[in-house]
Amino acid sequence: MTDRAPIPPGDTPDAAAVIDEYFDRLRTAAAGHGTSIAPDDLAELRAHVDERLHATAHTAADATDALAELGTPEALAQAFADDATAGPQGPDGLVGRVLGMPYDVRPPTSDRLARRVWDPTNPKILVPKVLGLGWTVNFGALAVRTRLVRPDDEDDPFTSAGSRVVAATLAAPVAAAVALGALVAATWTTLPATVPTHWGLNGRPDGFGSPAAAVIAVGVIGVVPVLLAAAVHLRGRHPFARVAASAVSLGLTALAVSIYAQTLFTVRGGSGVWPTWAGVAAFVVLPFGLLVTVSRRGRAAEQRRDLSSSPSKGTAR
Amino acid sequence: MTNATEAASSQLRKGVVELAILALLHRGEAYGGEIVDRLAEHPGLAISPGTAYPLLSRLRKSGLITSAWRESPVGPPRKYYRLSPDGEQTFVDMARVWNGMKDDMDTLLGTDAPHD
């Protein structure tokens, strides 16, 4: 806080300096919450302080007293940030709705991704995407709906399962990516100069490209997410974020395998798009299975901890 | 109720329901489903599981309540919640705030507020 140095009465520049410092800290703290306080709100806060100072000598001490009423700038910024996230519109319009569809164009984080794809306390199965327009599946709600888990089974998702289980989840998408790489390596030279890259609902290809373009697309969908998931693991993020990253990348790699398999299938004279449908199913089922498995292991670990120990013991966090 | 009324009353209930859960746990430990059911006995306080579980999670993270698994006489084990010492203190403080607020609100609303 600001020093209450003995200031001669009427020395207004000092009061102004104290107030300016407060508002600078407020703006900095708001930025730290990824938000900014609207100019109207800032003007109103200043007007409030000015009014409080009206009958005083405008010393730095008076300004400090008036500002104390608002709390620390950090606490005030927190309150504004809470208010901003409570409303439908996020900071600076980066989050919101267009034509009834949710959108979010903030840089995605592994924590936010985790909270979207696994929130068993939220009964909504479709939740806003972490990045882009539309919805994504809240596998936690799906698991509660199918009675595989209860909303409060785990105190903190995926943390009780143990670090070995958490680390092992990365093996699933890595294995899928290796399988994808092996499949591409084994078949890529057999592809003709032009391959189908898009299929209509009737199962007939309606878009074509070079094999290289097809392989690059499959790599972007199937390998890049696994590298990102590996980075989340290697950077020692929270188990929640790590398991969610494993699960989401596993789904995307399975989808990439199916897209490539679809290309091979069509090139070799197959008709229909069943490989794609199998991929779409795997895109949902595999992450779901992984997340539910880890969550249930976490629950089992919590139960072992509580049910074997003294029955009156609680766990605080 | 209009959408605006709905949003405003849900804001109003959020804080109150938090105190209601602390009051409930002050009387003794309870599991999630039990908390939802017992609040539902008071129509003004009834909340959906979708509201209750995030609230319980937040109370636990802020250290006001603790959770522990217990064997259930029927079916699988259940996770029970109880007040921590911090939670007991917070409950006492919040109850005091509530009592002051309740009287003040009654005075402020006076006869303007419809009772039904």
Question: Counting every residue, how long is chain B?
Answer: 116
Partners of residue A314 in chain B, C-beta under 8 Å = 66-68, 82, 84
Q: How many CA atoms lie within 13 A of B104 on its CB side?
A: 6
Predicted pLDDT at A85: 62
In chain B, which residue's Cα lies nearest the Cα of A313?
A: B68
B11-58 pLDDT tens trace: 788 889 999 999 999 999 999 999 999 999 998 888 888 889 999 999
B13 touches chain A (CB under 8 A): no
Quick one: CATH architecture of B3-109? Orthogonal Bundle (1.10)
DSSP-H helix ranges across chain A: 12-32, 39-53, 60-68, 73-86, 110-117, 139-145, 163-168, 171-187, 211-222, 224-234, 239-267, 274-308
Decide if B25 contacts B52 (C-beta within 8 A): no
Angle at B23 between CA B18 and CA B29, to 5 degrees: 105
Q: How far is B39 from chain A (nearest CA, A)?
A: 17
The answer to whether residue A303 scores a pLDDT higher than 90 is yes
A153 touches chain B (CB under 8 A): yes
Share of chain A above pLDDT 90, in %: 52
Residue written as token pair 């802020």: B62
| ipTM for the predicted complex | 0.80
Decide if A95 contacts A87 (C-beta within 8 A): no
Instruction: Please choose, from the candidates A105, A80, A84, A95, the residue with its C-alpha nearest in 3D space to the C-alpha of residue A30.
Output: A80
Q: What stretches of B1-116 adopt beta strand conformation (E)?
A: 30-31, 65-70, 78-83
Domain ranges for chain B: 3-109
A280-292 pLDDT tens trace: 999 999 999 999 9
B51 touches chain A (CB under 8 A): no
Of A155, A313, A316, the CB nearest to B63: A316
Partners of residue A153 in chain B, C-beta under 8 Å = 79
The mean of the pLDDT values for chain B is 89
